[in-house]
Structure 1
Amino acid sequence: MPTSFSTNRNLAQPLLLLAGFALLIGISIGTLWLVDRAADDARSVAHTLRVQDMMSNVLLNMRRAEAGQRGYLFTEASRYLDDYNDAGPAAEEQLRLVREQTADNPRRKGELDAIERTMNGKFAEMDRSIELTKAGNRDAARTFVLGDRGRELMNDLRQQIEKLIDDEGRLLTERNEASQRTNRWLLILTILGAALVVVVGGIAVLLMRRNVAQREAARQELAVINANLERIVEFRTADLVEANEEIQRFAYIVSHDLRSPLVNIMGFTSELEALRKDIFDEIGKLRAQLDELNAHAAAQATPVETLGKDFDEALGFIKTSIAKMDRLINAVLKLSREGRRQFNPETIDMNEMLGSIEQTVAHRAAEQEAKVTIDDLPAVESDRLAIEQIFSNLIDNALKYGRTSEPSRIAVTGHANAAYVSFDVSDNGRGIDPHDHQRVFELFRRSGVQDKPGEGIGLAHVRALVRRMGGTLKLKSELGKGSTFTVTLPRRWTENTRSIA
């Protein structure tokens, strides 16, 4: 007997499970049917709302057209005609869309035909008044408008549209009620299905508890792996930071060591200049004392003068090379100092800062007949000195490399989103050959004709600052068509901000 009971229980369990799944499948099919019906109801409701919205837009555009007509009659300003000309096609387009939405409703077709006839009558009335005004007959146009015809047409149109909207509102109520009934049945069926899911789910609890233990072990293992990865990333980041600081220290040391011999060279050059003066002063005295050898002294004058000229030329080359080398070293030192300087973020009014930069270059701009325009710019939270150096350099370059054929025009614009701000510095200057777009950002590199003073440092410095602030610097330029530099920066700079460029 116990064996028979055990066998029946073993058979009952899969049968009950199978019955539960069958019932669940039936509920699921019913739920899908109700969901499909609810979707149809929702589409019907949305369809009615769209028709109401489009008819409201028809009436709104007609009123907009009427406002444009009256504005033109009273002011004769063409901007009112722009509103009138835009409103007409917009109203017709909305009416066309309503026809498409209600193509399956014959009664609605007749109502829309009546509305279209009224609209055409109203537009004819408004067109007539505008034509009279354009012809100079303002009094006749106003008299025409003051008649009751236009007002009657507009009232008829409003009543026709409101009647159609009210009728659609009645349909909306009916469809909402149908949607609510469907939703109630869906809720009932969903509750039944949820209850059955709970029952069937209870059977699987034991299996789930076993799986939970396995997942927890896997999660812990994954946490250990992630922790190891984070430590590896931290180590790699520290290595990169240390390498970067080492490079900066190297540049600083090399530059400092190069300055010492330069100072010696400059000192010796000064001594050579003094020695040269003493030598040639002494030669002059000797020549004066040897009057009896005037002929011989005259014969030797040209070689001595040539020697002096060569001496001066050699000294000039030495001084020029020293000055250039000194400028380059100073540039490397400047970049090194900037790379080590700590940023101090603060909220910056970009309109105020660019206005200050504009005042700084105002004298140069006036001499060149250049014009600098600054749009309304978004604020940014970053290092003030770095931001000022970036835009001062870009505007200075725009003034420096203008075209002689026409005055320079420089424009600064900007826009922002939730995370970044972008600024465009555009000019109509010489432009940059596309092959040199990357070259101009390299240290000591320049592009085009070298007829302006400079060492090719400015744009390299700008890009370094932008990258350090977590931003990007892009160039768009063509020869003879000007350039646009786009600076993109985080709205708020933090210590962890780094460029992805």
Structure 2
Amino acid sequence: MVLLGLLVVIMVRFHYSLFKSVPMILTVGAVVLLGVVLGALYFSQRAADESDSAVNAGRLNIRVLRLLSSAQDAEIGQRGYLLTGDERYLEPFTKSSVSIPAEITALTPALRDIGIPQAAIDELRGMFTQKLAEMQKTIDLKTSGDAAGALALVKSDVGINLMDAIRDRIAAIQQNGATNAALHISALRASTTSLSTIIAVSAGLLVLLAGGAMRLTYNHTRQIEAAQDQLSLANETLEETVVARTQSLQRANNELQTYAYIVSHDLRAPLVNIMGFTEELDRASRVFRKYLERTHADPNDHDGKAAIEAVETDIPEALGFIRSSMKRMDNLINQILVMARAGNRELHRDRVRLGDIVAETLSTLRHRLDEGETTVEVVGVLPEVQSDRLAIQQIVSNLLDNAIKYVDPSRAGRITVRGRRHGLLATLEISDNGRGIAEGDQERIFELFRRSGRQDRPGDGVGLAHVRALARRLGGDVKVRSTLGEGTTFEVAIAADLARAKKEETA
């Protein structure tokens, strides 16, 4: 914003000289575009950071709620055991006794990040510990045959008071998290507003530059017309030369008029995004480059040197920056739209041979397989299913593409495909001997925009999230088994008969 403000002051102060020099217009245009790129990148990054923080706050609230849910499940299991004596009811309690302390430990850094004091976290840990101990004591009394003692402990309201205290503490944490998320959302809106302001101000500056270019074009046109009039009065012996020169000047005039038309058309068209300005400036740059080549701009002259540097270096670099940034944003938006459309698209039940789908996909990837000397083995006959062909093609394509992308360059790539039918499900396994995935990342890779390992391969962290969403829509799920440095296996299970699976879901 400061840079753009300075540009406005400079342009107002020097507007007379600005509109007398093509190199000056090009130089100022390059600076304006660079300011737009830097401002857009800065506020885009800020918006992304605030968005991530808001999402993380929401996820934290969900994890905190799961803590309470685990305690409630444990309490239900405890009471089921006290009432029936059946040890099967103790399974939720046994799991919660292990998971709750571990989850509190895992949550501690995130809770401290949103302003929860360590003392409050320790107090919450103590409440859960007391609650689990109280439930364990009733179970021990029941196990030892003292059912009356267990019942008396339950009726003493110790457990109820502890659960009430836990709920109050969880509610306070959630309120804190909600406040934190609201702050990040507010900051996100502020960044978005700043970005919109930059675009609007930049549009105004570019309009002003375009106006100067149009004025200069008009002056040049008048000069050309005057030259044509002078040539028409020349000696008849020079008629052929005059005609040739007139034709050359007419071509130049037509080019300038074409440029003026493009600029005026751009001024009338809606300024919908930065890329519109980028393309217009690129087109204008080519026109000015031709103009400089025709006029033989002197590189030793200050204005000429500035014009050449602007056309040959500054503008191409600035265009590259903004295009790469917009391309990445466009790719992310397109991927999200793909996922959204996939979630809303009506599934069709087709007869699908998984072997045919794998073969078709491998044929499209043959060049990359040969290039990386990667071999693929399909073990046995892959099953046939009644499911949505397009969704299965997208799942197989994503998984095979990942297997090829993350081969280990230290050894020959090897991909193995297996499939089987079991009960109402059909399973497809795709294994590779590539880099592998760290244990801590094996679940996170299915989250949107999350990737693991070295970020030296192209990707947006969307493919596996898309695969899981599709697999679940097809009545199944996807799992991963991996050892870092050895390889990875993705196991996709889908309903063997999609129509039957849907019927059972609605029954």
Query: Do they superpose with TM above 0.5?
Result: no
Larger Rg: 1
Q: Could you say which TM-score interval applies, normalised by the shorter chain? A: 0.3 to 0.5
